[in-house]
């Protein structure tokens, strides 16, 4: 066997490849790892020096089923391909690869590069046909062995899962009791889960549930189990990811599942990748047992929640309306193009105007021109009026229903606070008992237990204060005045709609409750308008036309501003005075901007309004020097024979002492610069002026 290792092999390095499939094997199967590291001694016995032996153990804890994520194996193959490796040492073929494709590629490279493969007993030459055949067979058996192991292990898991006896990880709110899941005996955990699931049926989106939980101070539990069976419950503010993990889990609907997110192989950029499915289709779950354990919600509610989550997901080109957001466009997600039927997007103007538009992008991929665009404000106003006229609820029934819902939610949140206080009281009593049970003379332990008792008492007091604050600020207890206000608001929908305290997202949620979709179609003959078709969820359809003026007409000065501007101009006011009066009256231009002198002048010319005021007095030019001996900008430029821009640059750069002062009392808005130039400043500025003139002369010569 020594004859197979020649001088050519010894001139290159020997690579010892070390790998274990999982981190648990690395920790608990240390003997296998020790055998692999011991191959370095075998390489040294075969003639390699200690310095020429490299150990690659980057892949400890990585599976050999593929090369994905195995940086050590990738480096080994690269070095073999570049002729830097004389021998590859591994205890067996399965350490190097469990895939025939990866194994055969490595053998092909070793055969061409004249690299030998060495295990604990034999030295193989991949260039030799007999050795190559033996190595091929070992690689095939290693890959098949992985498949057989998977059939035995995964098959046993699936068999147990089909009976519902496989212990899956119990989600928060459940514990394992004998052979099935059961409700967590902690009542506070149960109520927290129920409260969140019930709130999602009321709120329009998951983000709204998280905001409500933070406003009411609601915490959500996270249960962690240790290896010895002990568990730790941590209460933290509800996050969006935590909420989604609860909503997407069918266990809360009483369904036992296994294999909800199977892996499949697919081609990505010409390479084979493993993709894990989202698990949203119940038909693809490997195991599904309905009514396997007590449920927090019904299966129908779970399916409805998934549909609601899918509808709240909004992306360009997606067919779902999306969750209500706080943008100004009232009908975002509900508007469909009457021409091509796709869902229209919302586009906001520049940062200064922020005027919303509904636009259809169906032709954007094929042509440079979009399908069509329409301003959102007239459409929103028409739908808002139609909604308020159509929604005429029974006042008494609605007010009582709203009051019952508010009372139910308030009672549920308050009960959660009570359970939290009970838990804090238990922890305080437990810490007290532990402190009193210790020997007082054992101060090392007594000090620690005393500190824990004090911390428990502080936590109890903090929970009580937070509950009182929530009762007063978040209205967990409704007074008679609160109930009266609820009845008044429930009977007056327009007042609730137009209230400044009503967020735009809530208005959108109200519309989404009763409107299925809104179709917009442009009409050009006999006059420009938008045909609006409202499809209600009751099945009824309402049709109306909304005027659609062109851009020139839309940006024209509003009638009230035009009338007021004409009156002020006829009264003999100048343009700057007219702008001040219009802004004081809260009037705006056709673009919705405050009035300026230029805007007044433009509006007068386009509306044909004559100006009666005389011209403003012209400002007299500044003298070269004032009474204090200071120079003006023009005086400084004349003294040093430079331009005004050069003087202003000196001022900006701080090269000369200058002060900005009002021009005179008649022109308070105009400010001028006065420069103080002493002998030192004059010498410095003369030198700068000479440099500026020299640079200017050079530029002229180059031109």
Percent share of the chain, pLDDT over 70:
82
Give the pLDDT band (50/70/90) at residue 364.
low
Q: What is the pLDDT of residue 451?
A: 78
DSSP state of 393: -
The better pLDDT of the pair 325, 208 is held by 208
In this structure, of 9-18, 66-75, 84-93, 140-149, the range with the lowest mean pLDDT score is: 140-149
Average pLDDT over residues 188-210: 84
Tens digits of per-residue pLDDT, 608-632? 888 777 655 556 677 888 888 888 8
Close Cβ partners of 666 (under 8 Å, ≥ 6 residues apart): 617
In the predicted model, is pLDDT for residue 96 greater than 60?
A: yes
DSSP state of 654: T
Whole-number Å distance between alpha carbons of 402 and 486: 7
60: tokens are: 């400890």
Q: What is the pLDDT of residue 493?
A: 67
Close Cβ partners of 659 (under 8 Å, ≥ 6 residues apart): 673, 674, 676
Strands 271-276 and 263-268: antiparallel
In this structure, of 71-75, 494-498, 679-683, the range with the lowest mean pLDDT score is: 494-498
The better pLDDT of the pair 616, 99 is held by 99
In the predicted model, is pLDDT for residue 242 greater than 60?
A: yes
The active-site residue out of 21, 66, 219, 519 is 21
Q: Are 217 and 471 in contact (CB under 8 A)?
A: no
Tens digits of per-residue pLDDT, 372-423? 888 888 888 888 888 887 765 544 344 444 445 555 666 666 666 677 777 7
Strands (E), 328-401: 335-337, 345-348, 356-360, 372-375
In the predicted model, is pLDDT for residue 111 greater than 70?
A: yes
Name the nearest CA neighbour of 198 among 413, 512, 435, 418.
413
629: tokens are: 């001996």
- Give CA angle at 678 (674, 684), nearest 5°: 100
Average pLDDT over residues 114-118: 90
Average pLDDT over residues 280-291: 85
Give the sign of the dihedral formed by CA 381, CA 384, CA 390, CA 393. negative
Calculate the alpha carbon distances from 428 to 234, 415, 439, 549 in Å. 16, 20, 19, 71
What does pTM read for this prediction? 0.54
Strands (E), 187-258: 219-225, 231-237, 256-258
The better pLDDT of the pair 523, 495 is held by 523
Whole-number Å distance between alpha carbons of 230 and 635: 88
Preceding omega of 446 cis (within 30 degrees of 0): no
Q: What is the pLDDT of residue 186?
A: 83
Q: What is the pLDDT of residue 15?
A: 92
In the predicted model, is pLDDT for residue 668 greater than 70?
A: no
In this structure, of 43-57, 142-156, 201-215, 412-426, the range with the lowest mean pLDDT score is: 412-426
Burial-class residue 541 by CB neighbours within 10 Å (0-12, 13-18, 19+): exposed
Q: What is the pLDDT of residue 446?
A: 72
According to CATH, the superfamily of the domain at 2-158 is Resolvase, N-terminal catalytic domain (3.40.50.1390)
Calculate the alpha carbon distances from 174 to 169, 187, 253, 260, 416 in Å. 9, 11, 12, 19, 18
Strands (E), 638-681: 657-664, 667-676
In the predicted model, is pLDDT for residue 176 greater than 70?
A: yes
Q: What is the pLDDT of residue 623?
A: 81
Tens digits of per-residue pLDDT, 690-703? 888 888 777 777 76
Average pLDDT over residues 444-455: 74
Whole-number Å distance between alpha carbons of 490 and 496: 8
Q: Are 579 and 602 in contact (CB under 8 A)?
A: no
Please state, rounded to an integer, the average pLDDT across all residues of the chain. 79
Q: What is the pLDDT of residue 398?
A: 45
Whole-number Å distance between alpha carbons of 409 and 265: 47
Give the pLDDT band (50/70/90) at residue 655.
confident
In this structure, of 36-40, 86-90, 276-280, 527-531, the range with the lowest mean pLDDT score is: 276-280
User: Across-strand partners of 347?
Assistant: 357
Q: How many residues does the chain have?
A: 703
21 is catalytic: yes
């Amino acid at each position: 066997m020594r004859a197979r290792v020649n001088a050519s092999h010894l001139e290159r390095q020997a690579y010892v490849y070390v790998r274990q499939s999982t981190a648990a094997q690395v920790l608990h199967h240390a003997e296998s790892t020790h055998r692999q590291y011991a191959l370095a001694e075998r390489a040294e016995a075969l003639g390699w020096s200690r310095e020429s032996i490299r150990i690659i153990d980057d892949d400890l804890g990585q599976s050999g089923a593929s090369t994905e994520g195995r940086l050590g194996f990738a480096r080994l193959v690269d070095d073999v391909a570049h002729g830097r490796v004389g021998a590859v040492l591994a205890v067996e073929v399965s350490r190097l690869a469990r895939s025939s494709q990866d194994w055969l590629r490595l053998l092909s490279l070793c055969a061409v590069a004249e690299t030998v493969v060495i295990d604990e007993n034999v030295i193989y030459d991949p260039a030799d046909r007999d050795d190559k055949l033996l190595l091929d067979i070992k690689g095939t058996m290693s890959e098949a062995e992985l498949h057989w192991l998977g059939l035995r292990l995964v098959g046993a898991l699936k068999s147990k899962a089909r009976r519902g006896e496989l212990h899956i990880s119990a989600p928060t709110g459940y514990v394992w009791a004998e052979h099935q899941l059961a409700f967590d005996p902690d009542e506070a955990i149960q109520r927290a889960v129920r409260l969140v699931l019930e709130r999602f049926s009321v709120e329009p989106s998951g983000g709204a549930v998280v905001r409500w939980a933070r406003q009411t101070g609601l915490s959500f539990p996270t249960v962690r189990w240790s290896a010895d069976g002990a568990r730790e419950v941590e209460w933290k503010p509800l996050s969006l990811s935590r909420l989604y993990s609860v909503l997407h889990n069918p266990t809360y609907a009483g369904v036992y599942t296994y294999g909800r997110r199977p892996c499949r192989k697919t081609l990505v950029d010409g390479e084979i990748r493993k993709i894990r499915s989202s698990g949203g289709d119940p038909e693809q779950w490997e195991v599904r047992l309905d009514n396997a354990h007590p449920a927090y919600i019904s299966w129908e509610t779970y399916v409805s929640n998934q549909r609601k989550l899918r509808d709240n997901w909004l992306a360009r080109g997606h067919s779902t309306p999306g969750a209500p957001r706080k943008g100004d466009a009232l009908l975002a997600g509900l508007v469909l193009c009457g021409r091509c039927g796709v869902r229209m997007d919302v586009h906001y103007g520049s940062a200064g105007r922020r005027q919303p538009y509904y636009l259809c992008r169906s032709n954007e991929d094929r042509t440079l021109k979009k399908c069509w665009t329409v301003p959102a404000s007239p459409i929103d106003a028409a739908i808002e009026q139609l909604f308020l006229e159509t929604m005429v609820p029974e006042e008494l029934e609605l007010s009582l229903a709203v009051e019952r819902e508010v009372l139910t939610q308030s009672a549920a949140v308050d009960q959660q606070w009570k359970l939290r206080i009970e838990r804090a009281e238990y922890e305080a009593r437990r810490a007290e008992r532990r402190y009193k049970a210790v020997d007082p003379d054992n101060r090392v332990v007594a000090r620690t237990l005393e500190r824990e008792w004090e911390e428990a008492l502080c936590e109890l007091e903090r929970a009580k204060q937070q509950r009182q604050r929530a009762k007063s600020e978040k209205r967990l207890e409704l007074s008679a005045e609160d109930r009266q206000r609820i009845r008044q608001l429930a009977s007056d929908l327009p007042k609730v709609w137009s209230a400044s305290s009503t967020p735009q997202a809530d208005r959108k949620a109200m519309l989404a409750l009763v409107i299925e979709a809104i179709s917009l179609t442009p009409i050009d003959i006999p006059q420009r308008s938008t045909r609006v078709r409202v499809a209600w969820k009751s099945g009824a359809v309402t049709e109306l036309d909304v005027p659609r003026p062109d851009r020139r007409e839309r940006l024209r000065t509003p009638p009230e501003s035009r009338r007021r501007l004409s009156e002020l101009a006829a009264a003999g006011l100048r343009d700057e005075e007219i702008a001040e009066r219009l802004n004081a009256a809260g009037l705006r231009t056709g673009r919705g901007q405050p009035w300026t002198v230029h805007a007044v002048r433009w509006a007068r010319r386009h509306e044909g309004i004559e100006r009666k005021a005389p011209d403003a007095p012209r400002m007299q030019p500044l003298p070269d020097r004032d009474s204090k001996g200071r120079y003006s900008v023009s005086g400084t430029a004349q003294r040093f024979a430079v331009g005004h821009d050069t003087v202003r640059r000196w001022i900006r750069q701080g090269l000369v002492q200058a002060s900005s002062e009002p021009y005179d009392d008649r022109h308070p808005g105009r400010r001028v610069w006065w420069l103080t130039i002493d002998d030192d400043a004059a010498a410095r500025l003369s030198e700068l002026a000479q440099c500026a003139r020299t640079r200017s002369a050079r530029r002229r010569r180059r031109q």
